[in-house]
Structure 1
Amino acid sequence: MLITSYNPTQLGDTLIAILRPDTAEQKIETHANVTRISDVATGETLGYNFFDVSKTLGTLDVNGQIKLTADQVAKLNDLLTANDFDADLVVDLTPKFVVGHVDSAEAHPKSDHLQITKTNVGTDTDLQIVSGSPNMQADILVVVAKVGAMMPDGLIIWPGELRGVESDGMIVSGRELQLPHAPQHPGAMILPADYQAVGEPFDFDRAQTLFTA
């Protein structure tokens, strides 16, 4: 997993790289312009802060999440090696917001408002996603934020559980995607049946006119 963001207005010339969810006890090491955050219990890398990153990657014309190319990841790994860290960044170019089809939706056994869905995202295995959307039902076309997605508000989607049931991803609303004129109330965004093929990366540009004023 590799989730990266760059927010020069708030953090200056610093690239944030996230590999794993936060843990209770963390170790922080800084060598030159690189800080590594790791899990004390396992030693696994949770993330890195790359300061003065434009010296390594050049100018980054981004304010928010950034999708790094294989070449950019290689340059950051070289920087890690030069600063006595393991080169453990792995490029991730898979789309994280995709069109999905809810094949089934069943009531959660421990909740009166959650539903357990089996959602097809174009892979061999459906995703099990627990949803609290009041309009959730079977046989609808939706947008799925897969594990590793960063929402527009900065929330990262990790594997989790809701009342004891595993959930791998999130079925999202237009409001959560911050689409123009999206309804400002809870509920999954249901796409027209022929809007996009299941498994395709969600077309954010096209979606700017999905809702009318």
Structure 2
Amino acid sequence: MQFVYNKQGIGDVLIITLNQKESEVTHETIGDVVKLLDEDGQIVGYNIFNVSNYLSLTGNGPLEATEELVNDVKSVFEKNDVQDELNIDLTPKFVVGYVKEMAPHEDATKLNVCQVDVGDEELQIVCGAPNVEAGQKVVVAKVGAMMPTGMLIKDSSLRGVASSGMICSAKELNLPNASEKKGILVLSDDYEVGAPFNIYA
């Protein structure tokens, strides 16, 4: 799930992406709210036009999904007679992880299989970054995270090995002054494992 607002680039529209779909998307307009649906009729997102008539938004790109913002959007829905429930998982999707173990992928020379502690669970993540090592603190995008590019993180299998999440680079997180060099962002020891990592700061 992702909220995006870019008034200069797109116009006075709040874009809400709930799910990525490769298939053709249709739409239904209800007042200032446009509902986006996939070929099966499932809601994949919304566009709220003239959003500054309802909300005071700042920023130029992805917005942090907070309870306050979700409640504000629900209020916009009510004012436009949109009957949809907006049930959004607000648990942190970008967190500090600790790479406990790393082993070479059995079927891919440039991939490693990492066991990553994210505080409340341990995730197996296949990572192709050249600088990943056991003992590092890293930023993990958990399943359900929406990257700044709009890519949704899902459970996957890479060359036959299950992977649940992604160990991120600064560039992938769209952080200021991100290095162009390939490699994950390695955090200092000051970071607490399992703590949310704010990519919107």
Q: Same fold (TM over 0.5)?
A: yes
Instruction: Choose the corresponding residue for 2:191, options 196, 205, 208.
Output: 196
Cα displacement (A) at 1:180? 5.1
The aligned amino acid for 1:200 is: A
The aligned amino acid for 1:46 is: V
Partner of 2:136: 140
Instruction: Choose the corresponding residue for 2:86, options 78, 81, 89.
Output: 89
> Taking structure 1 as reference, are residues 7 and 131 closer, same or farther at Cα in structure 2, changes over 3 Å only?
same
What SS does the aligned partner of 1:9 have? coil
The 5 A counterparts of 1:84-123 are 85-123=82-120
> Taking structure 1 as reference, are residues 203 and 14 closer, same or farther at Cα in structure 2, changes over 3 Å only?
closer
> Taking structure 1 as reference, are residues 173 and 76 closer, same or farther at Cα in structure 2, changes over 3 Å only?
closer
What SS does the aligned partner of 2:54 have? helix
Question: Could you say which structure has the greater relative contact order, defined with CA pairs below 8 angstroms and 6 or more residues apart?
Answer: 2
Contact 1:146 1:157 (8 Å CA) reproduced: no
Partner of 2:62: 65
Contact 1:81 1:87 (8 Å CA) reproduced: no
Q: Could you list the per-position Cα deviations for residues 129-164 of structure 1 after superposition, in whole angstroms to 9, with x for gaps in the alignment?
A: 211011222222111122343444x24342042234
What SS does the aligned partner of 1:74 have? helix
The 5 A counterparts of 1:13-92 are 13-41=12-40, 43-57=41-55, 59-81=56-78, 83=80, 85-92=82-89
Structure 1, unaligned runs of 5 or more: 207-213
Contact 2:101 2:115 (8 Å CA) reproduced: yes
Partner of 1:174: 170
Q: Whole-Å Cα distance in 2 between the matches of residues 12 and 203 of structure 1?
A: 26
Structure 2, unaligned runs of 5 or more: none
Cα displacement (A) at 1:118? 1.6
Cα displacement (A) at 1:91? 4.2
Cα displacement (A) at 1:75? 3.7
Partner of 2:9: 10
RMSD: 2.6
Number of matched pairs: 200
The aligned amino acid for 2:139 is: V
What SS does the aligned partner of 2:77 have? helix
Cα displacement (A) at 1:16? 0.6
The aligned amino acid for 1:28 is: H
Percentage of matched positions with identical amino acids = 41
